[in-house]
Structure 1
């Protein structure tokens, strides 16, 4: 059985992940290092250096454990940057705008790192443990996430913010591209309170217990190949 790290020791995806390491290191360490330096230079309360040290440890741990989930990086970068900037504001009131500036900077750098890993989409990504997000067409905030071992419907709006239907790849049946003739709002099987708005055009139909998901997207064929390949890899592990 190959480990998840071993799956990306070479190839295009490994090269992409290596290229973004400096960006993620900057997001994790930039604000804490600046905060520590400013504290020393301004003669601040030295025991307070535990705060940037803690932020540094938390940032490094986060990006280490989420290195295969690029979708989450921009939000994490914004939060870490804002916290580091808030510490600077506590050291000196003149530095209060740092929370906004560092938060925005962290978000931008992490977003660029995310895009560098996920774009353009290539078949190499299917052989890696990187979680691939696919945005739903006409359903703001809704995404289909294809991980190395599961698929998930996730979103930042409405009920999808709190309830995220998830199915192990072993439980996924047929995945195929279909055409939707008219707009409809369909329930998510097994999660009665959730609905997906399907707009006319291509969609992907995924057979899951106890029914099927229909997600509007122009990338149904790519998703079908991705899921098939990852199911194949999981079966071979």
Structure 2
């Protein structure tokens, strides 16, 4: 997968982590389409075989393009790999027309689960454990909020984002450019509260007692429950420094 790591310069520990996972992501992208193309050559129907091979090439090319564009966003790898595996499984299943009702769902489930697992391990290898080398890279770093059902604070090279896997956060993801981010500091929350997200009235964040990070953004502030407020503050400050933002 040459070129996947050329999106933005990274060095040291992070570069080594990215190099280590590149073969695994290549396998995720190419195995399904190659398997589909391989079984297609055994079909007696030339037109169907050619169509399957063409679909495999398109799928492999689309997967490669997607992962190149998301090379510095490991958080997105597992779901993308699972979707690619499901589509590859369906493609493999079509090579057995008489049993397609069985082979397509089975292959989709197996390849989808395998893709998710491999990409999830690759994601973890790049992001865990968190080290300060990540601040100097362009890798988007996700910080999971405490007790809020999948809510995460994403710190990219040029923006911060609130994203979640449940409720309105699945489709509405407030984003602020680093140039618009003010003070970032760890605070202590005394009691449970549900707070609105400034500028996005339909979104609420449930803050549980304990440490949290407070981020000044226009037109107010985000308060996200997390035990890693100090590390987040250092990360944002470093990325603003690298971007030349005062």
TM tier, smaller: over 0.9
Question: Is the partner of 1:20 in helix, strand or coil?
Answer: helix
Q: 1:134 aligns with which of 136, 143, 148?
A: 143
Shift of 1:5: 4.3
Aligned partners of 1:7 and 1:127 also within 8 Å = no
State the distance in 2 between where 1:138 and 1:124 align: 28
Counterpart for residue 68 of structure 1: 72
Deviates more, 1:84-93 or 1:128-137: 84-93
Cα distance 1:6–1:145, how it changes in 2: closer, same or farther (>3 A)? closer
Counterpart for residue 110 of structure 1: 119
Counterpart for residue 47 of structure 1: 50
State the distance in 2 between where 1:74 and 1:66 align: 11
Counterpart for residue 30 of structure 1: 31
Counterpart for residue 153 of structure 1: 162
State the distance in 2 between where 1:82 and 1:6 align: 30
TM-score where L is the length of structure 1 = 0.95
Structure 1: runs of 5 or more not aligned: none
State the distance in 1 between where 2:8 and 2:198 align: 36
1:217 aligned onto 2:221: no
Cα distance 1:60–1:6, how it changes in 2: closer, same or farther (>3 A)? closer
Q: 1:204 aligns with which of 200, 210, 213?
A: 213
Shift of 1:166: 0.4
Aligned partners of 1:179 and 1:202 also within 8 Å = yes
TM-score where L is the length of structure 2 = 0.92
* CA displacement, residues 188-237 of structure 1 (integer Å, 9 cap, x when unaligned): 0111111000000000000001110000001001100000000000017x
Shift of 1:89: 1.2
* CA displacement, residues 123-176 of structure 1 (integer Å, 9 cap, x when unaligned): 000000000000000101100000000000001111111111100001100000
State the distance in 2 between where 1:157 and 1:74 align: 17
Cα distance 1:161–1:211, how it changes in 2: closer, same or farther (>3 A)? same
1:81 aligned onto 2:85: yes
Question: Is the partner of 1:57 in helix, strand or coil?
Answer: helix
Counterpart for residue 9 of structure 2: 7
Aligned partners of 2:144 and 2:226 also within 8 Å = yes
State the distance in 2 between where 1:56 and 1:114 align: 20
The 4+ residue runs of structure 1 with deviation greater than 6 A are none
Aligned partners of 2:7 and 2:71 also within 8 Å = no
Shift of 1:179: 0.4
- Give the alignment's Cα RMSD to 1 decimal: 1.2
Question: Is the partner of 1:178 in helix, strand or coil?
Answer: strand
Deviates more, 1:211-220 or 1:37-46: 37-46
Count residues with an aligned counterpart: 232
1:90 aligned onto 2:121: no
